Amino acid sequence: MRFFIRLRTGYLWGKAVYFASEGIYSKSYDFLIRLDDLEVSTRVHWSLLQSHVCMRLGKNAEATKSLRKALSGLKVSKRFNSDEKAYLTKYARAIAIELGQGFDEIVPDYNLAKVDDRWISLFPIGAYKSI
């Protein structure tokens, strides 16, 4: 059973990322909602993508909720090294600024060479004017 859930979540995640990268945010949102329906969307990177997509769709309250979920997950996550946590926090900060939200957390310096390439390509900080 776990295998099928992982297969399904991988498919939904891939579609959500694809449509977001193509700027088709409504389709990406649909796939992210389907991930929520499976109740497995507690991962930091899913919440970050959802906050970005919701912001692009003008769903600012939902974007803020997803952003907070991502930030609280980042603090306790063992999946990311300290440089990746700092990089993703900086990405979250850019979204918060675009949403007009305050951002009190200090973003530490990070070594980009120690950040996994998939996080850099999925969450390009340069896409935000506020950074």
The string of pLDDT tens digits covering residues 79-104 is 899 999 999 999 998 899 888 887 77
Backbone angles phi, psi at 108, to 5 degrees: -70, 160
Q: What is the pTM of this model?
A: 0.86
CATH number at residue 23: 1.25.40
DSSP class of residue 116 equals -
Backbone angles phi, psi at 110, to 5 degrees: -145, 160
pLDDT of the residue at 7 = 84
- pLDDT band at residue 2 using 50, 70 and 90 as cut-offs: confident
Average pLDDT, the chain: 88
Give burial (CB, 10 Å; 0-12/13-18/19+) of 28: buried
- Domain ranges, residue 9: 2-127
Number of domains in the chain: 1
The pair of three-digit structure tokens given for residue 19, joined into one six-digit string = 């449509």
The pair of three-digit structure tokens given for residue 77, joined into one six-digit string = 């996550």
